[in-house]
Every structure is written in C-alpha cells, then in structure tokens.
C-alpha cells in the first residue's frame, strides 16, 4: 500500500472493489472451470458433471434489522438467497455450510430459532447442512452461508452466453420485497417515536413475506427443463432488475432494451409504492431482494415461453453500442442506471 494514495470505497463501489482485489489472481488448477464473476463458481466434478459454489454474508444492521426480522425467517432467508445463486446457474443445490458470529446478547434459544429456519429451508429445498463455523462477535450477528450444487456440464448457464436479439425474461413479479422493507421501516419509525403505538402491518402480507421469507425459484429450473428451454444467460435478481441487466450485458458484451409496460408488478406493490410516493418502476428496477430469475432465450424459444404465467418477456438484447434502455409507457427511451444495492454506495 503506497502512503500517498487513498481511494475511498464509495468512489469505486462494490464491483469495482471486487475487480481491483481479484484481478491479480490467475487460474492454477484445471478443475476450476469458472471462478469469479458469475452467480456461482463452476468446478469440474467428473466427465459429465460440475460442482457449483456460491457464498453470501448476511450482516446485522446491513442486511437485516432484528427489530422486525424474526430469527426463524432470517435463518430461512440466509439459506434461500444462496440457493438462488445455484439455481441461477441452472444447477441443483445439494449442500450448505453455515458460519455464524454471535455476541452473548443472544441466548441459546434465539440461535436455535435461527437454526429452526435454516432447517426448514433445508427440508423444503432438500439440502444437507454439512458444516460451518461458530465464533463470537463484538457487534452484531453475522451469518455466512456457502451453497454447493451440481449440474450437468452442458446445462450450466453463464451470464456470458446471450446473443443479440435474445429475449429477456423475468420470473414472478418484482419490487415486493423492497416495498415490504419500506413498510417495515415505516412502522419501525412510528414505534421509535411512540412505543405505545402497535405496528400496523395489516394487508401487507404479500410484501412482508417477500421481504422476510423469500423463496428461490427451484420451480422455474424445472419448468425450463419441462419446456426444453436452455436459457442463453441467467442471473438471479438480488440487487434490483437494472443492476442484473447490466451484469448480463457486461457478461455477454451486449446492450439491452426493456419495456416499462412489460415489467411484472403485483397490484398491491404498485398501490403501496404510490402511497409511499415511490415510482413503481423504481421499485422494480432498483429494489432488489426479489430472488426471481432473469434470463435470456433465443427467439426460436418465444412460443415455448409466451403466455407462461410464471414468466414475463420484458425486452431483448441489442448490440453493445445501442446501450441499455427502458422504453416508457409514452414510448420514450430512458437510459438505465444500475442503482441497485451496492454495499459501499449506501442507499
Ligand atoms: P451475487 O450477487 O450473485 O451473490 P456478488 O455480486 O456477491 O454475486 O459477487 C460477484 C462475483 O464476485 C462472484 O463471483 C463472487 O464470488 C465474487 N466475489 C465477491 N466478493 C469477493 C471477494 N471478496 N473475493 C473474491 N471474490 C469475490
Ligand atoms: Mg446472484
């Protein structure tokens, strides 16, 4: 480290930092098929199969607030967000390791609740807990989960495989987890101002569930197999649709065009967004934590995807020079910015 140079992390952002830290590492082992830069690393297993590996932190005060996050849900979510990365490679998760750092503020019973949620996720997604680490923390609760999965070699889908004119498809609906968080934050402020007022969460069930207890789209991986469609590129929507579109564009060296009117949003989400003075399109583009899948398919597969209740065709890839744009409801082209979650840029 030179004495006179100091680069603030917020000027380079999370992805700039990862690039800077990892660019000097060269691949040394043939078994490493793909390392940094996708939802999971891809490792050779045998002639026909690969192992997929992905890891994520959940940090108290950054990723969750224990004032409104039940520990059981937190355990469940910490597993699901990692499984989502394995599905995003078109793989099947099979094992997890779980590491926790805890302060003595937590009794054994609280951590058992956390593990109750972890166990529920393992049961629902058919995952084995195979290890981890336990240590103390001076500040908050830290959870790190690593997911391992498998896939046939020819089935693995990278961020880099898309071609110009491939259709962009997103599963489910977007923005609900973000609006769920806004509702929880509002009630937290009300409670802090006056602890006698009980939180009013009635009618927000869907939004709260999407925030507190998300699901990974295991079902979509099966639907795609049943439809005999192999996506040309894929990523999970953890940081907001715009950010994920940029990742696919960067991976595949393309531009993209999406259509505002095609973006899937639940009515309750758009209604709540308007109540909160937030543009519903902003929730979708920059909200994050939906854990839906964003993928591309070749034009020939249009008929197989069209009308599928779980999938929305939201646009297509263009040449890199054409940039990344959203066509709004009036037909105007708006340049997209990746304003999703970026650890060092704050909100
Ligand atoms: P995702 O959002 O899908 O979990 P990330 O955006 O966290 O993926 O990470 C992008 C890529 O950078 C992944 O391949 C990840 O393994 C890698 N990565 C992230 N942080 C580090 C780090 N500190 N050192 C090495 N690789 C990292
Ligand atoms: Mg991901």
Q: Which pLDDT belongs to residue 3? A: 66
Ligand nearest to the CA of 18: 1
Q: pLDDT grade, residue 197 (50/70/90)?
A: confident
Predicted TM-score of the model (pTM) = 0.95
Q: pLDDT grade, residue 191 (50/70/90)?
A: confident
**Measured from the CB, is residue 36 less than 6 Å from ligand 1?**
yes
Q: pLDDT grade, residue 141 (50/70/90)?
A: very high
In 3D space, the residue among 262, 256, 297 whose CA is nearest the CA of residue 166 turns out to be 297
* pLDDT single digits (tens) 46-84: 999 999 999 999 999 999 999 999 999 999 999 999 999
Instruction: List CB-based neighbours of ion ligand 2 within 5 Å.
Output: 39, 85, 236
The DSSP 8-state label assigned to residue 60 in this structure reads: B
Mean of per-residue pLDDT scores for the chain: 95
What topology is assigned to 29-155 in CATH? 60s Ribosomal Protein L30; Chain: A; (3.30.1330)
Q: Which atom of ligand 1 is nearest to the CA of 39?
A: 3
Is residue 340's pLDDT more than 80? no
Q: Please give the Cα distance from 58 to 28 (Å, whole number).
A: 30
Q: Which pLDDT belongs to residue 14? A: 87
Q: Which pLDDT belongs to residue 2? A: 57
**Measured from the CB, is residue 38 less than 6 Å from ligand 1?**
yes
Ligand nearest to the CA of 84: 2
Ligand nearest to the CA of 216: 2
Q: Please give the Cα distance from 323 to 249 (Å, whole number).
A: 9
Write out the residue limits of the CATH 3.30.1330.10 domain(s) in the chain. Answer: 29-155
Q: In a mutational test of the pocket of ligand 1, which residue from 24, 36, 341 has the highest number of ligand atoms less than 8 Å from its CB?
A: 36
Write out the residue limits of the CATH 3.90.650.10 domain(s) in the chain. Answer: 167-335
Phi, psi of 299 (to 5 degrees): -50, -35
Q: Which pLDDT belongs to residue 28? A: 97
Long-range contacts, stretch 11-17, CB < 8 angstroms, 24+ apart: 12/344, 13/342, 13/344, 13/345, 14/342, 14/343, 14/344, 14/345, 15/342, 17/344
User: Which residues are CB-neighbours of 346 under 8 A, at least 6 positions away?
Assistant: 10
Q: Which pLDDT belongs to residue 184? A: 95
Q: Ligand 1 centre from 67 Cα, in Å?
A: 28
Nearest CA to ligand 1 atom 20: 18
CATH of the structural domain 167-335, one choice from 3.90.650.10, 3.40.50.1100, 3.10.450.50, 3.40.50.150: 3.90.650.10
**Measured from the CB, is residue 18 less than 6 Å from ligand 1?**
yes
Q: Which pLDDT belongs to residue 200? A: 81
* pLDDT single digits (tens) 205-231: 999 999 999 999 999 999 999 999 999
Q: Ligand 2 centre from 237 Cα, in Å?
A: 7
Q: Ligand 2 centre from 92 Cα, in Å?
A: 14
Q: What is the mean pLDDT of residues 85-93?
A: 98
User: Which residues are CB-neighbours of 296 under 8 A, at least 6 positions away?
Assistant: 161, 162, 166, 167, 168, 169, 231, 232, 233, 234, 248, 252, 317
* pLDDT single digits (tens) 157-188: 999 999 999 999 999 999 999 999 999 999 99
**Measured from the CB, is residue 85 less than 6 Å from ligand 1?**
yes
What are the Cα distances from residue 345, in Å, to 3, 264, 278, 280? Answer: 24, 27, 20, 22
* pLDDT single digits (tens) 250-308: 999 999 999 999 999 999 999 999 999 999 999 999 999 999 999 999 999 999 999 99
Q: Ligand 2 centre from 160 Cα, in Å?
A: 14
| DSSP letters spanning 227-252 | HT---SEEEE-SS-HHHHHHHHHHHH
Q: In a mutational test of the pocket of ligand 1, which residue from 14, 18, 292 has the highest number of ligand atoms less than 8 Å from its CB?
A: 18
How many other β-carbons are positioned within 10 Å of the β-carbon of residue 26? 6
Is residue 338's pLDDT more than 80? no
Is residue 342's pLDDT more than 90? no
């Amino acid at each position: 480290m030179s004495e006179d140079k100091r680069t603030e992390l917020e000027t380079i952002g999370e992805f700039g930092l990862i690039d800077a830290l990892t660019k000097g590492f060269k691949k040394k082992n043939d078994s490493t098929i793909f390392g940094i830069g996708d939802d999971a690393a891809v490792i050779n297993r045998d002639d026909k199969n690969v192992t997929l590996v992905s890891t994520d932190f959940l940090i108290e005060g950054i990723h969750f607030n224990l004032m409104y996050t039940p520990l059981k849900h937190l355990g469940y979510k910490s597993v699901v967000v990692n499984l989502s990365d394995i599905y995003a490679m078109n793989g099947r998760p099979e094992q997890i390791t779980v590491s926790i750092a805890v302060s003595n503020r937590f009794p054994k019973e609280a951590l058992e609740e956390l593990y109750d949620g972890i166990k529920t996720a393992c049961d629902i997604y058919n995952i084995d807990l195979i290890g981890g680490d336990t240590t103390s923390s001076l500040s908050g609760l830290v959870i790190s989960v690593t997911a391992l999965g498998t896939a046939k070699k020819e089935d693995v889908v990278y961020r880099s495989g898309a071609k110009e004119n491939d259709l962009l498809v997103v599963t489910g609906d977007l923005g609900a987890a973000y609006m769920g968080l806004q509702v929880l934050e509002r009630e937290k402020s009300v409670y802090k101002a006056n602890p006698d007022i009980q939180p009013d969460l009635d009618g927000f069930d869907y939004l709260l569930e999407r925030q507190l207890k998300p699901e990974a789209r295991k079902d979509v991986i099966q639907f795609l197999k049943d439809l005999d469609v192999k996506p040309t590129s894929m990523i999970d929507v953890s940081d907001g649709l715009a950010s994920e579109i940029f990742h696919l564009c960067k991976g595949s060296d393309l531009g993209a065009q999406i259509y505002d009117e095609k973006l899937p949003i639940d009515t309750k989400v758009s209604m709540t967004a308007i109540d909160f003075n937030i543009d519903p399109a902003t929730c979708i583009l920059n909200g994050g934590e939906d854990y839906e899948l964003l993928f591309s398919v070749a034009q020939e597969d249009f008929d197989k995807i069209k009308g599928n209740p779980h999938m929305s065709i939201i646009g297509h890839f263009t040449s890199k020079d054409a940039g990344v744009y959203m066509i709004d409801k009036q037909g105007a082209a708006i340049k997209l910015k990746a304003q999703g979650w970026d650890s060092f840029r704050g909100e």
